[in-house]
Amino acid sequence: MASNSKAAASLFLTVVGAPQKKLVVSATFAAVLSVYLASQKKSKKKKKPSVLQETEMETDLSAKKKRVLQSQKKKPKQSRAIRTVLRMAMQNREKWTLGALTTSLVLRSALSIFMAQHLGYTIGYFCDRKWKDVVSAVNKFATVSVIAAMVNASLKTFADMFEHNLRDVLTRKAHRLYMEDKKYYRVNWLDNVEQVDQLICEDISKWAAATSEVYTQSLKPIIDMVLFSYQLKRKLGFEGPYLLYAWFAVAASISAVALPRFGKLAAIEQTLEGRFRERHARIKKNAEMVAFTRGENPEIILLENSYNKIRDHQLSVLPRKFLSDSIQQYLTKYFATVVGFSLTVRPVLTNFNNMGNATPGEIAAFFVSSRSTLEGLANAVLALFELQKRVGTLSGLSYRVESLFKSLHHPKPLLEDQIQAAKDEGNPPKRIINKNSGLLRFVDVDVHEPNGRLLLNKLNITIDQGMRVIITGDNGCGKSSLFRVICGLWPIVSGTVEHPEVHELFFLSQTNFVPVGTLREVLVYPRILGKSKELDEHLWKILEWSHMLEDVLENNKPGDMVLVDVKKKRLAVRGLKRGATMDDQLDWNRALSPGQQQRFAFARLFFSAYPYPLDSDRKTRIAVIDEATNGIAPDIEADLYERCRKLGLTVFSISHKVELKSSHDYELHYHANKEGSWDFLPLKGQK
C-alpha cells in the first residue's frame, strides 16, 4: 500500500510537482508569452494606410491632427464616456447607496468563505464518525444560513436601489434640460438628434441597470479574489494562488483575441432598435391616412426591412459570441478545474503542512474546503472574464447617453455666419421686450431659415394693438417663420424686433394639438389652476364662445357625437353619451372630431385672452392663426374672428383663403424669391 502511494506521488510530481522555483518560472514565462502573442495578433489586425493616405499625412500634418481631433470628439473613448455619465449620476444619495451595496458584497464574500470552511469541517467530522460534532456543525450552519439569506436579500435590494437612483438622477436631469429654453424643439426639429425619446425613456434605464450590474459583478469577484487567495495561500502555499493566476493570465490573453467589441455592437443594436420603434410610431401617427390610401403593403415592407436589420445584426453577432464563449468556458472553467484539482491534491502527495500524515477525515475536510475555495476563486475570475461583455455593453450605452446630454447642454449654433455678417455691417440682431403692450415692430429685420435660406429681407413694419394682418404667399415660403423668430425658436439674424413678452403671444397651428389632462386642465393649458366653481363657470362661457355647446342631438346611438346644452354642463364628445364634464380626462384626440379640435384650440385662445381671474397679468395680446380654420364652417369662422376683435387681440392669420381678407386690415405678402422681398398692403377700407 505504501509503495502504491509512493508511486502515485512520484507520478504526480513528475507531472505537476516540479521544484518550486522551476514551476514559478515556467508559469511566469507562459503568462508573459501569451500576453505578447495576443498583443502581436491584435497589432496585425490594424490596417496599414494606403499610399495616398501616407502622402496626405506627410504633406498635411495639420489637417491630419484636425481630423484626429474631430474623430475623437465624435467618438470618445469608452472609459471616458462611462466616467462622464457616472459623474453626472453620482450624487450623495447614490454614494450612500453604493456604500451599503459595497458592505453587503463584503459580508457575502466573508460568509462564503466561512460556509466553505464550515462545510469542510462538517465532512471531516462525518468521516471520523464524530456524530455530536456533526449535529453541532449542522445546527451552526442552519443559523448562519439565515444571516446569509438576509445578506443576499439586502445585496439584491441595494443593487436595485442603486439602479433606480441612477436612473432617477439622469432622467430628471434630462427632463430639465430637455424642457428648458425650448431645447425639445431644437433637438427634434433643428439639430435632428436621432431617437431622443428612446435615449431618455429606454437607454438611460438600460445604462442604470448595466452600471449596477457591472459594479456588483466586478466588486464581488475582486473581493472574492482577495479573500480566497489569502485562504488558498494558507492551505496550498504560495504556489497555489500564483499558479492559478498564471493560468488565468494565459486564458485572458487568449480570450482577448477572440472577444468581440461588445460596446460597439451594443450601440449599433440600440440605434437599430430606435429606428424600428420610430417606424411603428410613424404608423400610429398616420394610421388614418395609411388606411385611406391603402398603404399597408409599402408600410409592412418598411417595418420588415427595419426589423430585418436588427435580426441580421443579432445573428451576425451570435457566431462571434459562440466562439468567445466556448474559449472562455473551456479556459476559465473546465480546464481551470483540472488545474485546481491538481493544486488541491498536490499538498497531500507532497506532505505540505504535514498533510501526508493526516487522517481520512482531515484529508476530506481539507479537500472539500480547498475545493470550495478554489471554486470560488475560479468563479470570481470567470466573472471578471464575463465582465468584459458587460463593460462593453455599458460603454456602448454610455456613449449614447453622453451624446444625449451633450446635445442638450450644447445645441448646435444656428446661422452663425449670417449673424456675424450682420454685425460686421453695423446691423446686429437686437430684441426689445415691451411689457403690457401689444405693439409689434420690425426694423431692418432679416429672417433666415436655420439652413441659411433668406425668407425676408429688411422687414420694416409696425403692428399696433388690435390690428389684424393676413400673411399670404406660396406654399413653403416660410409664412410662419416670423413668429418662430419672435418666440425665440429661430435666432434674429439682423435688425431690431420689438414685441410683447412671449407668453402674450398665442399660436394656433394647422396641426391640431390637444394637451393631456381633464377638460379643465386642457382648457387652461399651459397654466395650472386649481378646481373652483367660478373657474368652471368661466370655462363653460369660453366653450360657448367657441361654438362647442350647440346643436343638441336627440335619439343618440352608442358612438354618436353627443352635444349637450350648456346648462347641463356637458361637452360634446364621441362615444360618451352623457357628454364630458370638467373633471373627465379622455383621449381628446379621439373624443373630438378634427373640426371640434380646431374650435377647442380657439377656446384655449379665448381663455388666454380673457383669463380667470380677470386681473391676471398673463393675458394674450397677439394671436397667430396658422391655417387653423380649415375644418370650420364659414359662418362659425367669421364669428370666431369677430370674437377675437371684441377681445382686442392683434391677429395674424396665415391662410390661402381669399374670403378671410375681409376680416383683416392689412396683408403681408411673401414673394418667396432669393431677394426675400415682401409687400405690406392695406386691405379694402384701410388707408
Asked which of 71-75, 232-236, 388-392, 607-611 is least confident by mean pLDDT, the reply is 71-75
Tell me, yes or no, whether 130 lies in a domain.
yes
- Give the containing element (helix H, strand E) for 275: helix 262-285
Per-residue DSSP letter, 497: E
Banded model confidence at residue 207, pLDDT cuts 50, 70, 90: very high
Tell me, yes or no, whether 303 lies in a domain.
yes
Same domain, 437 and 385: no
Tell me, yes or no, whether 321 lies in a domain.
yes
* 3-state SS assignment for residue 174: helix
Average pLDDT of span 541-549:
87
- Give the containing element (helix H, strand E) for 499: strand 494-500
- In this predicted structure, the answer to whether residue 140 has a pLDDT above a threshold of 70 is yes
Q: Measuring CA to CA, how many Å separate 349 from each of 12, 237, 240, 541, 680? A: 8, 14, 14, 98, 105
Same domain, 375 and 441: no
Burial of residue 264, with CB atoms counted within 10 A of its CB: 0-12 exposed, 13-18 middle, 19 or more buried: middle
Beta bridge partners of 472: 669
Same domain, 388 and 489: no
Cell of 70: 474631430
Banded model confidence at residue 445, pLDDT cuts 50, 70, 90: very high
Beta pairing, strands 505-508 & 622-626:
parallel
Residue 379's closest CA among 223, 152, 258? Answer: 223
CATH of the domain at 640: 3.40.50.300
**How far, in whole angstroms, is CA 250 from its chain's centroid?**
38
**Predicted local distance difference test score (pLDDT) of residue 236:** 66
Tell me, yes or no, whether 500 lies in a domain.
yes
Same domain, 454 and 339: no
Are 234 and 370 contacting, i.e. CB atoms less than 8 angstroms apart? no
Are 497 and 431 contacting, i.e. CB atoms less than 8 angstroms apart? yes
Burial of residue 299, with CB atoms counted within 10 A of its CB: 0-12 exposed, 13-18 middle, 19 or more buried: middle
Look at residues 391, 409, 427 and tell me which one is the last residue of a structural domain.
409
Banded model confidence at residue 663, pLDDT cuts 50, 70, 90: confident
Same domain, 151 and 195: yes
Same domain, 176 and 156: yes
Look at residues 388, 409, 430 and tell me which one is the last residue of a structural domain.
409
Same domain, 405 and 442: no
Domains in the chain: how many in total?
A: 2
**Predicted local distance difference test score (pLDDT) of residue 443:** 93
Same domain, 405 and 456: no
Average pLDDT of span 442-467:
90
Tell me, yes or no, whether 458 lies in a domain.
yes
Contacts of 68 (CB under 8 A, 6+ apart): none
What pLDDT digit, counting tens, does each position of 623-659 carry?
Answer: 998 888 888 888 898 899 999 999 989 998 988 888 8
Average pLDDT of span 157-184:
90
Average pLDDT of span 364-389:
71
What pLDDT digit, counting tens, does each position of 43-58 carry?
Answer: 444 444 443 334 333 4
Q: Measuring CA to CA, how many Å separate 434 from each of 278, 440, 499, 503, 633? A: 42, 9, 6, 12, 36
User: Could you tell me the residue range of the domain that residue 206 belongs to?
Assistant: 76-409
Same domain, 346 and 429: no
- In this predicted structure, the answer to whether residue 415 has a pLDDT above a threshold of 80 is yes
pTM above 0.75, yes or no: no
Look at residues 409, 425, 446 and tell me which one is the last residue of a structural domain.
409
Same domain, 197 and 254: yes
Tell me, yes or no, whether 552 lies in a domain.
no
Contacts of 474 (CB under 8 A, 6+ apart): 670, 672
- Indicate the Cα dihedral angle 111, 112, 114, 116, nearest 10°: 160
Tell me, yes or no, whether 654 lies in a domain.
yes
State which of 116-120, 241-245, 378-382, 462-466 shows the largest mean pLDDT: 462-466
Same domain, 460 and 337: no
Residue 432's closest CA among 411, 462, 456? Answer: 462
Tell me, yes or no, whether 255 lies in a domain.
yes
CATH of the domain at 194: 1.20.1560.10
Banded model confidence at residue 188, pLDDT cuts 50, 70, 90: confident
**Predicted local distance difference test score (pLDDT) of residue 302:** 82
Banded model confidence at residue 66, pLDDT cuts 50, 70, 90: very low
Same domain, 317 and 439: no
